[in-house]
């Protein structure tokens, strides 16, 4: 029953598929981010309360969204590696961590630069900001733990365990603006019923979200190919691939 | 930018810098893994 699952997770299949998908993801990311950035900076009208400072949303929200998505991918892939002992699960987790960490840092920096004119401060120990900072520490912890062991298998398992425990922070980040009093604004796009934005502001944001997701797909595939080669460098199929 | 340029432009510059770094780092990681695999192949060839 599970044969297809193991076949999908075979290193040569993952290596080839990741290589084939990369240019498609990169092309889609360039188109969507190009449109989103130009439409967001030039054509979207200024917000009636925040003025032009609201344009930061077009890079801040996709960065924050990607920080959560990459962590969820990392935890799910780690769980797959841990439960089914599929090596490629750990490879996906290892590839996802640095990308997610960089976008978490990006969400924190852009949020801070947005907070200064809107809240009068670069940083506040607000539930959303604090939980996002904890996410950055979790990424750093997972990456450090993976490289702290001499035996890569033990490092993978330890990192997967920490990633799974840390995934509890993802819903905390998302619902922090609902559960606690927060300086941070509530949901804009993912509001049940109707998004809190008119179309000419919303479409560039959706394009940026899509573009960042495709970019994540492309970079994940590139890193995954490196990860597979590194882990399988003694395998026969790698020797044959290198010879050809 | 209605007086907010010093906040908006650095945000875009930082995020596009992060995008560029991710591409560069992933390409470098892939190239290094390839080099290591080729080195392993060469060492095996020498041993045989």
Per DSSP, helices labelled H in chain A are 3-8, 11-38, 57-83, 87-119, 127-148, 152-166, 169-179, 199-231, 236-243
User: Residue B30 to residues A18, A21, A82, A226, B25: CA-CA distances in angstroms?
Assistant: 12, 15, 25, 4, 9
**What tokens does A222 get?**
């590139």
Q: A229 vs B19: CB contact, 8 Å cut-off?
A: no
pLDDT tier for residue A223 given thresholds of 50, 70 and 90: very high
Mean pLDDT of chain A: 90
From B45's Cα to the closest Cα of chain A, the distance in A is 10
Q: B8 vs A55: CB contact, 8 Å cut-off?
A: yes
Q: For residue B2, what pLDDT is reported?
A: 79
Q: For residue A82, what pLDDT is reported?
A: 93
For residue A44, which residues of chain B lie inside 8 Å, CB to CB? none
Would you list the DSSP string of B1-48?
-TT-HHHHHHHHHHHHHHHHHHHHHHHHHHHHHHHHHHHHHHHHHHH-
**What tokens does B24 get?**
């560069």
CA dist., res. A19 & res. A220, Å (int)? 11
pLDDT tier for residue A62 given thresholds of 50, 70 and 90: very high
Residue A25 in contact with partner chain B when CB distance is under 8 A: no
Which tens digits make up the pLDDT trace of A91-112?
Answer: 999 999 999 999 999 999 999 9
Chain A, window 80-119: residues with a beta carbon less than 8 angstroms from a chain B beta carbon: 98-99, 102-103, 105-106, 109-110, 113-114, 116-117
pLDDT of residue A12 exceeding 80 = yes
> A47: helix, coil or strand?
strand
CA dist., res. A26 & res. A215, Å (int)? 6
Q: Out of A163-172, A180-189, B39-48, give the one with best mean pLDDT.
A: A163-172
Counting Cβ atoms within 10 Å, is residue A20 exposed (0-12), middle (13-18) or buried (19+)? exposed
Q: For residue A198, what pLDDT is reported?
A: 83
Q: For residue A227, what pLDDT is reported?
A: 94
pLDDT of residue A71 exceeding 90 = yes
A75 and A166 in contact (C-beta within 8 Å)? yes
ipTM: 0.91
For residue B38, which residues of chain A lie inside 8 Å, CB to CB? 242
Residue A45 in contact with partner chain B when CB distance is under 8 A: no
User: Which among B15, B26, B36 is the nearest to A63, CB-wise?
Assistant: B15
User: Residue A108 to residues A92, A124, A150: CA-CA distances in angstroms?
Assistant: 24, 11, 33
For residue B11, which residues of chain A lie inside 8 Å, CB to CB? 56, 59-60, 109-110, 113-114
What's the CA angle centered on A23, arms A22 and A24, to 5 degrees? 90
Mean pLDDT of chain B: 89
| R_g (Cα) of chain A, nearest Å | 20
Domains contained in chain A, CATH given: 17-235 (1.20.120)
For chain A, list the strands marked E by DSSP.
Answer: none
> A180: helix, coil or strand?
coil
Residue of A179 and A95 predicted with greater confidence: A95
Q: Which of A41, A48, A56, A240 to mutate to test the interface with B (most CBs of B within 10 A)?
A: A56
Centre a 10 Å sphere on the Cβ of residue A212 and count the other Cβ atoms it contains. 25
- Mean pLDDT in residue range A85-96: 94
CA dist., res. A215 & res. A234, Å (int)? 30
Q: For residue B43, what pLDDT is reported?
A: 80
pLDDT of residue A6 exceeding 80 = no
User: Which among B1, B26, B31 is the nearest to A219, CB-wise?
Assistant: B26
> Domain boundaries in chain B?
1-48
Residues with Cβ within 8 Å of A88's Cβ and at least 6 positions away in sequence, in order, are: A9, A10, A11, A14, A81, A228
A214 and A29 in contact (C-beta within 8 Å)? yes
Q: For residue A89, what pLDDT is reported?
A: 93
Share of chain A above pLDDT 90, in %: 69
Residue of B nearest to A218 (CA): B23
Which tens digits make up the pLDDT trace of A204-220?
Answer: 999 999 999 999 999 99
Which tens digits make up the pLDDT trace of A108-157?
Answer: 999 999 999 988 999 989 899 999 999 999 999 999 999 999 888 999 99
């Amino acid at each position: 029953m599970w044969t297809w699952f193991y076949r999908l997770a075979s290193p040569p299949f993952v290596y080839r598929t990741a290589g084939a998908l990369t240019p498609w993801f990169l092309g889609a990311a360039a188109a969507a981010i190009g449109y989103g950035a130009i439409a967001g900076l030039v054509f979207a009208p200024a917000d009636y309360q925040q003025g032009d400072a609201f344009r930061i949303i077009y890079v801040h929200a996709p960065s924050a969204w990607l920080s959560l998505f990459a962590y969820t991918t990392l935890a799910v892939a780690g769980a797959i590696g841990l439960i089914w002992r599929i090596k490629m699960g750990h490879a996906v987790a290892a590839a996802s961590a640095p990308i997610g960490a960089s976008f978490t840092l990006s969400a924190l920096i852009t949020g801070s630069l947005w907070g200064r004119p809107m809240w009068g401060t670069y940083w506040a120990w607000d539930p959303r900001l604090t939980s996002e900072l904890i996410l950055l520490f979790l990424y750093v912890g997972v990456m450090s733990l993976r490289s702290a062991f001499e035996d890569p298998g033990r490092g993978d398992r330890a990192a997967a365990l920490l990633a799974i425990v840390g995934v509890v922070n993802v819903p905390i980040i998302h619902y922090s603006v609902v559960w606690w009093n927060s300086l941070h604004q509530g949901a804009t796009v993912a509001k049940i019923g109707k998004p809190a934005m008119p179309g000419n502001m919303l479409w560039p944001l959706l394009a940026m979200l899509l573009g960042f997701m495709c970019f994540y797909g492309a970079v994940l595939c590139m890193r995954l190919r490196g990860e597979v080669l590194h882990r399988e460098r003694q395998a026969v199929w790698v020797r044959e691939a290198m010879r050809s | 930018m209605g007086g907010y340029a010093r906040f908006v432009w650095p945000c875009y510059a930082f995020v596009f810098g992060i995008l560029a770094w991710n591409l560069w780092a992933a390409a470098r990681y892939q190239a290094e893994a390839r080099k290591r695999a080729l080195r392993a192949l060469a060492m095996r060839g020498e041993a045989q």
